[in-house]
Amino acid sequence: MPFWLQFLLFFIPGILIYYGVFYGTPKLVNKKVPVLYAFWFWLWFPVLLLLPLSIGLYLFLEDGTFTVEAVQQRFRLQPFSTGDWLWIGLAVLLTIFFDQILEPVGKVLAKHKWLSPPEYLPAPFHPLKKFSFPPKQFFGVTLSGNWKLLAVFIPLHLLAMFSEEMMWRGYLLPIQEAMFGGNAWMINGLLWAWVLHIALKWHVIGMIPGMLIAPLIAQYTQSTWASFAVHAIGNAPLWIILLIGVLSTNKEAN
């Protein structure tokens, strides 16, 4: 696969997400669509398409065989070793560490006109807004006893992350390894950060460590499940915050 096509696979969903975050969401909100639905639709819809797209590219561009064994082999969905959990744990800790260390940089960049986030974003997604803990709302939706939100949000979030991993690490990373050798993880991570996630432009520096660590782990372990674990565990604190918000506000209401 030529590099220009690899770039487009990152660029097209990245542009859709950028449009959705800065233009699509406000338009839907103006039409009385709740911001929760409008924002996450635009964030996840382009990403969820990556799963069938990656399978389609494998079947039609590579004339792949659609069997469980063949898909597992091509997308590196083989189980990783017990020892790899040590690397996964270290990767998650490093991701969280660098995210916290570089958080002030994001706040500085967010003050710049061309790098500022949309005003509708709540804390902690908007770095210049104060985050109250435990949270009482999530994108305008009350958390008190809202188990339905968690029941829908977490599976969709997991599916979105799995879709990304299937495309970026399962399908593209082996191709990039053949082209760039040991440096493939850096190419993969920079495209993931600065092309797909261009909508998070105030986070253009802070996202780099996390975006590089996941493909590095995938390349080192030769397992897409390993990078998916890093990706999912790294995002799990959001679920914990929401859960605490549900439980805490429930308690206060009583």
Q: Which two tokens stand for residue 212?
A: 């590089």
Contacts of 90 by beta carbon, 8 Å cutoff, 6+ apart: none
Cis peptide leading into residue 134 (ω within 30°): yes
Domain definitions of the chain by residue range = 3-253
What amino acid is encoded at 189 in this protein?
Answer: G
Q: Report how far residue 187's alpha carbon sits from residue 106's, in angstroms, rounded to the nearest whole number.
A: 23
Flag whether pLDDT at 248 surpasses 90: no
pLDDT band at 249 (very low <50, low <70, confident <90, very high): low
| % of the chain at pLDDT higher than 90 | 92
Flag whether pLDDT at 81 surpasses 90: no
Flag whether pLDDT at 254 surpasses 60: no
Flag whether pLDDT at 108 surpasses 70: yes
Q: What does pTM read for this prediction?
A: 0.93
Over residues 118-128, mean pLDDT: 94
Q: What is the 3-state secondary structure (H, E, C) of 34-97?
A: CHHHHHHHHHHHHHHCHHHHHHHHHHHCCCCCCCHHHHHHHCCCCCCCCCHHHHHHHHHHHHHH
Count of Cβ atoms closer than 10 Å to residue 122 Cβ: 15
Angle among Cα 234, 240, 244 to the nearest 5 degrees reads 160
Average pLDDT of the chain is 94
Q: What is the pLDDT of residues 83-95, one digit of tens each?
A: 899 999 999 999 9
Over residues 134-154, mean pLDDT: 94
